[in-house]
Amino acid sequence: MTEKWLNIALPKGRLGEKAYGILEDAGYDCPQIREESRRLIFESEENRVRYFWVKPSDVAIYVQRGSADLGIVGSDILMEYNPDVYELTDLGIGRCVMAVAGSKDYREDPDSVLRVATKFPNIARKYYSGIGREIDIIKLNGSIELAPILGLSDVIVDIVETGKTLRENGLMPYEQIVPVSARLIANTVSYKFAYEQVTRLVRAVENVLRERKEKR
């Protein structure tokens, strides 16, 4: 019997390219993907895989709804949207932290409601309810760093990679909420119907990760 096609959703951008690099080394290569083009779907008949590029925050939606069997997604997205998917492996790439940041002269005032600007309202809400702090969430879609500078918020909750953007805008991280990295996720039903194929892929990916770690 010929194997099923595995549909894999990759996040557009640097993270997706790194993730594809791991899958390529694991034997699931699809050479066309490296060619410059505006195409969104790439197939490898030989490896029975079909890759497609989607917006990073949409990967989990494609996987949960079964349009993709597997996907690569940051754990920040998983925490924020809590999709019903299997989280199979930590790829250890795209490492950063979810952190609270504010301007350098920011002082916490426990007497007032803390105004928090963020792209991740659920993560922020959960974190602050965990420490019993009353907050006012301001949901933004980008340029979060602007919020404290313009006085829109007291602090921001956002992902911090090197801290360069923060520093250039006169901000600094105060508390670390949780480390973030890319995960390989699977649709809960496809996982069952293609169990052997999926586990073979996961094992190959884990081998690549181990080899890379040993080389370092």
Partner 1 sequence: MSFERNLRKEERCQYELRDMYRSFGYQPYRMGKFEEYELYMRNRSFLRGDRILTFTDTDGSLKAMKPDVTLSIVKNYTGEHLQKLCYNESVFRPGDSGFRQILQSGLECIGRVDDYLQSEVVTLACRSLAMISDAYLLDVSHLGFISSMVDALVPEEARRRMMKAVGQKNAALIRTICEEEEVNENDREKIVAVTQRYGSADVMLPFMRETILNGDMQEAYGELERTVTAVQAAGAGERIRIDLSMIDDLHYYNGIIFRGMVEGLPETILSGGRYDNLLKRLGKNGRAIGFAIYLDLLERLDRERDPYDADILLLYEKDAKPEEIIRAVNALRTEGYSVRAQTEPDTLRCRRTAYLKEGAWRFND
Residues that bind partner 1 (CB under 8 A): 64-67, 84-90, 187-193, 195, 199
Tokens of 35: 């060619």
H/E element holding 203?
Answer: helix 195-215
By C-beta, is 44 or 67 nearer to partner 1? 67
Q: How far is the CB of 205 from partner 1 (least distance, A)?
A: 12
- Decide whether 169 or 188 has the Cβ nearer to partner 1: 188
Q: Which is nearer to partner 1, 7 or 118 (CB)?
A: 7
Q: Whose Cβ is closer to partner 1: residue 72's or residue 156's?
A: 72
Cα separations (Å) of 182 from 44, 52, 59?
Answer: 23, 17, 12
Least distance from C-beta 78 to partner 1, angstroms? Answer: 9
In the bound complex, what is the minimum distance in angstroms from residue 142's beta carbon to partner 1? 24
At its nearest, how many Å lie between partner 1 and the CB of residue 126? 13
Q: How many angstroms separate the CA atoms of 51 and 108, rounded?
A: 46
Radius of gyration of the chain (CA): 20
Can you tell me which residue has the tokens 């921001």? Answer: 156
Q: Which run of H or of E encompasses 1?
A: none
Adjacency order of strands within the sheet including 114-118: 135-139, 114-118, 155-160, 96-103, 171-180
| Nearest-approach distance from CB 84 to partner 1, in angstroms | 8
81 or 106, CB closer to partner 1?
81
